[in-house]
Chain A
Amino acid sequence: MSLPSHLWEIKEHIREVALDFGLDPFETIFEIVDYEQMNEIAAFGGFPTRYPHWRFGMEYEQLAKSYEYGLSKIYEMVINNDPSYAYLLEGNNLVDQKTVIAHVYAHVDFFKNNYFFSRTNRKMIDEMANHGSRVRRYVDRFGIEIVEDFIDTCLSLDNLIDYHSPYMERRRKEETEALTELPKIRAKDYMEEYINPQEFLERQKQKLADQDVKNRRFPIEAEKDVMRFLIDYAPLDSWESDVLSIIREEAYYFAPQGQTKIMNEGWASYWHSKILTTKVLDDSEIIDFADINAGVLATAPGRLNPYKLGIELYRDIEDRWNKGKFGKEWDDCDDLEKRMSWDRELGLGKEQIFRVRKLYNDVTFIDEFLTEEFVAENKLYTFGYNKKSGHWEIDSRQFKEVKSKLLDQLTNFGNPFIYVKDGNYKNRAELLLHHKHLGTDLDMSYARGVLKALHRVWKRPVNIETLFDEKGVVLSFDGTDYSEHPTTYEPI
């Protein structure tokens, strides 16, 4: 249902205020829905026209239940699309709706202007509907069991994509023509012996031989987009290949939302506060707003609230650039008092936060703007599981530790780094994946589940090499049995 007129006027007002502040959103279409519709849309990840799959039903059951029990409700839902779509929950009070509308406009501004969203499909609503009808066609032909089962298989692999590939052309090395002649440095005959001595020629020979070996490898370079590799080389029926492509495309579409969670939610929270408290609310509404806002920004032990971290970082950046707390002079200053009262009155804060929202993602955002002062002021800590006590405990409040842990978690979207290392492993067309071990072991029981899915696609034995308990191991699945073999693990 489209907005009733009083909400429409409020929305228009908020939009104008947002534009005045410099936000630049897509046109946004608001609809008002009841909680059942909201749960349904949310269960579909925002796209009611998606392909049929049981997990949406599962999601729906969980959302519906947690709403019924009063544990949670979804206030807002917004879709990265041009025009954007946003859903408001019917029956929320007016201050809720105002907050949500402002929040939504900031999200849409982020979708439109953040670099990491620049390659996402802005007609994704149509594309999802298209995917839905393709899958439904396969269901009609092959039956829901078979198609859904294959979708399960693909979903097991949907984090095996190259999260950065949309922004760069990966070098696909063309077969380099084998050099027949030994590369030498040009020299006059009488100098030949000195310029191209025997050892040098030997080294060149070796280099060529190495290159030959490498060229015979498949893939030539370890491939991070495992899904792409499977689409290209796995023996799939055309419908299977299509379904795999659909799941891959949707994974890439959703990826930036995961890569910019802190930034995006922080940005939206920053602006809903600013817009509402300066231009929209009247005095009687402030308490209600403070109540909602406190809920959004609440923290709990052992959980990091991306809304809270994000908004505080933007505010910190704004303050630092307003006062000129950056650059060499600032970095070199260890006089505490001087630092406290530092103010160059540059007024660059606003410009800077808009720049940040354009160019950064969570990893670079944290890497560049998380400061020691910020960590102390916001009481950030790292925690870990203490096997002895069986408790999760605070490990450290050291800036370095907090930062590196945070970056660890954000890098690659919290997923392990997995590559295709060899598509002709043991010269028997087996598949060998490589887990780039960065200090944390894989969950082996889940790994087995994924290998099973991989086998369904590759149709030949599949293997993954990793480190487990500091020992190199190859975990294999041949279609019926799992096996583990020790190996010498060489990082790639």
Chain B
Amino acid sequence: MADLSKIKQDHRRFKQIVRGKIKRNLRQYMTNGELTGKQGKELVKVPIPRIDIPRFRYGQKDTGGVGQGEGEEGDSLGDGQEGPGKGKAGENEGEKGLEVDVTLDELAEIMGEELELPNIEPKGTEKLQTIREKYSGIRSIGPESLRHFKRTYKEALKRQISSGEYDADNPIIVPTRDDKRFRSWKETSLPQSNAVIIYMMDVSGSMGDEQKEIVRIESFWIDTWLRSQYKGLESRFIIHDATAKEVDRDTFFHTRESGGTMISSAYKLALKIIEEEYPIEDWNVYPFHFSDGDNWSVDDTTECMRILTDGLLPRSNMFCYGQVESPYGSGQFIKDLNEKFTIEDRVVVSEIKNRDAIYDSIKTFLGKGL
């Protein structure tokens, strides 16, 4: 019969190979963003190039085949994406590129290794404890619905044997009230570390689709990494042009406004959210701001710096600013930030010229381990 450890070995080898492939191609995955649409709650589908064995075979789209069923000549059989395969009668091995499910934890681990990201030392770990109730205890009183049959039986058996009532030829065990045992809960306290990411994005007219796509890809990887570092992770989304408002994730990536740009409006709103909902003792706060760097006025920029220094920075682990390049923006804001915070470690800025720069940008943002 099958030896279970054997398939486990082959399975482990397969996993190793997949992992190696992901690692080698991480930059490419980060650049083209194909993972971001395939994310579930805990798993992400990773398309693996060429893990199948190459063999001489016919080019696929030309071949077609024979089918069976209703329909007129010229009728469609469904769209080409799914494809009815080659319809050949032989084996159908390795038809499509393979998609492998990888847990987000695993992906974060691979990302951490490849980008050499340091682990984050969360703050608030000691203070914040969550209390979990687990039904792992036993008591002698409790409701019938929680009666532990096996333990009750054992108690009764013990009692009957020790009192000499037990008859091996006629082993009837009758529990009394004292024999009954019930499940009960035990409290365990788990250290909990929470983090919130506040994404802010400039949606003024100068931010195009490509710029937003870059932000979307970046946010996926930032989420993935920080989720692996904190037990509880929340994300909040703020869009702004001349005014700012909080939106959900979907709106965040799909809104386009045409107004001017007042960055301070977003920072004010972010500060308000943090002050109201995320007390500094319990939360690790990560504001990320993406813009093309074209602020309305010098005055507003001064205001931004003030909010950063007095409000956001003291309440955050770090502040990240990513500047995407757009044909319209002056790109001034990143210079202003650099000037103002030359010695401040916790302000991290990165210029993202195009998709190829995403990889390095992530590395810059997360490489400090703050």
Contacts and interface: CB of A to CB of B under 8 A. Distances in A.
Interface of A: 1, 31, 33, 36-37, 40-41, 43-44, 48, 52-58, 60-61, 65, 144, 148, 152, 155-160, 258, 261-262, 299-306, 308-309, 362, 378-385, 387, 389-397, 402, 405-406, 409-410, 413-416, 418, 435, 440-444, 446-450, 452-453
Contacts of A31: 1
A52 B10 contact: yes
A393 B74 contact: yes
5 interchain residue pairs of minimum CB distance: A302-B84, A449-B54, A57-B14, A384-B64, A57-B10
Interface string B168-208: 00000000000000000000000000000000000000000
Which of A65, A301, A397, A405 is the most central at the interface, judged by chain B CB atoms within 10 Å of its CB? A301
B57 A442 contact: yes
Nearest to B76: A391
A276 to B, nearest CB: 24
Contacts of B343: none
B344 interface: no
A58 B77 contact: no
Interface residues of B, number: 57
A303 B84 contact: yes
Contacts of B70: 379
A42 B67 CA distance: 27
Nearest to B81: A390
Given A305-B68, A382-B66, A442 B56 contact: yes
Given A60-B7, A381-B68, A391 B79 contact: yes
A362 B89 contact: yes
A303 B91 CA distance: 13
B80 A392 contact: yes
Interface string B62-103: 111111111111111111100111111111000000101100
B9 interface: yes
18 contacts: A31-B1, A40-B6, A40-B7, A54-B14, A55-B14, A57-B10, A57-B12, A258-B90, A262-B89, A302-B84, A303-B84, A303-B85, A384-B62, A385-B80, A395-B64, A409-B86, A441-B58, A450-B55
B16 to A, nearest CB: 8
B298 interface: no
B61 interface: yes
Nearest to A403: B66
Contacts of B17: 54
Nearest to B9: A52
A406 B16 CA distance: 40
B84 A48 contact: no
B3 interface: yes
B59 A48 contact: no
B58 A443 contact: yes
Nearest to B74: A393
A34 to B, nearest CB: 10
Contacts of A402: 66
Contact of B69 (A33, A379, A446): A379
A391 B80 contact: yes
Nearest to B15: A57
Which of B17, B56, B58, B61 is the most central at the interface, judged by chain A CB atoms within 10 Å of its CB? B56
Contacts of A36: 4
Contact of B55 (A1, A303, A305, A446): A446
Contacts of B83: 302, 392
Contacts of A300: 69, 84
A302 B87 contact: yes
Given A159-B55, A416-B58, A380 B68 contact: yes
A396 B74 CA distance: 8
Contacts of A158: 55
Interface in B9-47: 9-17
Contact of B59 (A55, A413, A443, A449): A443
B131 interface: no
B59 A440 contact: yes
A383 B4 contact: no
Interface string B150-175: 00000000000000000000000000
B7 A409 contact: no
A409 B88 contact: yes
B87 A304 contact: yes
Contacts of A406: 66
A268 B96 CA distance: 29
B50 interface: yes
A439 to B, nearest CB: 9
B55 A304 contact: no
A405 B66 contact: yes
Contacts of A443: 57-60
A53 B77 contact: no
Nearest to A132: B6
B6 to A, nearest CB: 7
Contacts of A395: 64, 73
B355 to A, nearest CB: 24
Contacts of A416: 56-58
A361 B179 CA distance: 72
Contacts of A155: 53, 55
B20 to A, nearest CB: 11
B2 to A, nearest CB: 4
A445 to B, nearest CB: 8
B56 A37 contact: no
B71 A381 contact: yes
Contacts of B120: none
Nearest to B3: A48
Contacts of B90: 258, 261, 409-410, 413-414
A301 B74 CA distance: 13
B54 A405 contact: no
Given A40-B6, A301-B71, A410-B88, 16 more contacts: A44-B7, A48-B1, A53-B13, A54-B14, A57-B7, A57-B12, A155-B53, A302-B84, A304-B68, A390-B80, A395-B73, A410-B90, A414-B89, A418-B56, A440-B58, A443-B59
B51 interface: yes
A392 B76 contact: yes
B50 to A, nearest CB: 7
Contacts of B91: 258
Given A391-B78, A416-B58, A43 B7 contact: yes
Contacts of B10: 43, 52-57, 60
